[in-house]
């Protein structure tokens, strides 16, 4: 994994595109580094990001899309009452 990008202060006043060109990073990486430094969610610039840099609502939507991808790939079906296996710990 690449190390986390920290924007050098002498480049901080430039636009994301100009910094991206100067450092060889993507514009997305520059924007995310800026938001991380400012203590904001790296996706939506919302408040209270977690360790990974995303806020609670972005984290939720990421988990959702990851679950959808996993279901598509592995054919996973959500547990239902009366089906085989252990019910999930948070069964409703």
Residue ranges in contact with Zn ion by CB under 5 A: 41, 43-44, 46, 55, 58
Q: Which is nearer to Zn ion, 23 or 59 (CB)?
A: 59
Q: Which is nearer to Zn ion, 25 or 46 (CB)?
A: 46
Q: How far is the CB of 29 from Zn ion (least distance, A)?
A: 17
Tell me how crowded residue 7 is: count the other CB atoms within 10 A of its CB. 19
∠15-62-26 over CA atoms, to 5°?
Answer: 25
Q: How far is the CB of 92 from Zn ion (least distance, A)?
A: 26
Q: How far is the CB of 4 from Zn ion (least distance, A)?
A: 18
Q: What share of the chain is helix, strand, coil (3-state, %, to 5)?
A: 45, 0, 55
């Amino acid at each position: 994994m690449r190390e986390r990008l920290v924007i050098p202060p002498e480049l901080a006043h430039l636009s994301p595109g100009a910094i991206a060109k100067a450092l060889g990073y993507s514009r997305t990486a520059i924007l995310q580094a800026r938001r991380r430094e400012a203590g904001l969610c790296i996706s939506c610039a919302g408040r209270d990001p977690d360790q990974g840099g995303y806020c609670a609502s972005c984290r939720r939507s990421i988990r959702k899309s990851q679950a959808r991808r996993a279901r598509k790939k592995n054919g996973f079906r959500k547990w239902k009452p009366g089906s085989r296996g252990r019910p999930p710990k948070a069964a409703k």
